Amino acid sequence: MFTGIITDIGRLQPFSQDRPGVFQIACAYDPASIAIGASIACDGCCLTVTELSPLPAGGCVFSVDVSNETLAKTTLGGWQPGQAVNLERALGLGAELGGHIVTGHVDAVAVIVERFEDGNAVRFVVEAPAQLQKFIAPKGSVALNGVSLTVNEVEGARFGISLIPHTLQQTNWKNLGVNDKINLEVDLLARYVARMYQLERAEKT
């Protein structure tokens, strides 16, 4: 379980041709604080740490195994060496819930269709797959590339979000623009509400 509050930006390491589906990510996390088998959200996708090695200057490089299903259903299939990756450690018992409840199970890939300045913030318009639009509501929450964000407005399958300078600088959103693909996880509560409504309608018919 996660909160959508990014705690580090990792960097993808060169790929090994003889280890397909294995990614290595350099980060600033203390290796002593990470156990093999721990969960780390990488661009919003919950992945399991399988290997770990400290870096001489501090931090570490951790490895994750990614299935073909995950590669096909998320942006991870397009990852490239050197790319910045949003990272979040799993939520600890009693920790502050600063964003919203995020599972790390990506629902789909969305696309950025607009980016523009809006005062001291940057506004983005994102297009989600049509089947997910029922889960996205104004002032509701979404996780995009692992970042907990509030929906400003919704028009069909498109919705707007605003990122303040701090969020831009502390995540890989500062590098994103029109036509870039992002991982989308809809709000867990919205999913259950929609399911309950569907069941109630089915009972009435």
Q: What is the pLDDT of residue 200?
A: 73
Residues 124 and 80 in one domain: no
Are 191 and 142 a contacting pair, CB within 8 Å?
Answer: no
The last residue of one of the domains, among 44, 60, 89, is 89
Residues 178 and 114 in one domain: yes
The CATH number of the domain holding residue 183 is 2.40.30.20
In-domain check, residue 95: no
Note the pTM of the prediction, 2 decimals: 0.92
Name the burial class of residue 174, with classes exposed (0-12), middle (13-18) and buried (19+) by CB atoms within 10 angstroms of its CB: middle
In-domain check, residue 94: no
In-domain check, residue 99: no
Residues 183 and 117 in one domain: yes
In-domain check, residue 101: no
Residues 28 and 80 in one domain: yes
3 state SS of 200: helix
Q: Give the tokens for residue 180.
A: 């870039």
How far, in Å, CA of 74 to CA of 108, rounded?
6
In-domain check, residue 204: no
Q: What is the pLDDT of residues 70-82, one digit of tens each?
A: 999 999 999 999 9
In-domain check, residue 20: yes
The last residue of one of the domains, among 35, 62, 89, is 89
Strand order in the sheet with 153-155: 147-150, 141-144, 181-186, 108-118, 121-127, 158-163, 153-155
Segments forming the whole domain that contains residue 77? 8-89
Q: Give the tokens for residue 26.
A: 């350099």
Are 125 and 141 a contacting pair, CB within 8 Å?
Answer: no
* For the ranges 30-34, 96-100, 192-196, the one whose mean pLDDT is highest: 30-34
The last residue of one of the domains, among 60, 89, 118, is 89
- The one-letter code for the residue type at 62 is F
Q: What is the pLDDT of residues 136-195, one digit of tens each?
A: 999 999 999 999 999 999 999 999 999 999 999 999 999 999 999 999 999 987 777 776
For the chain, the domain total comes to 2
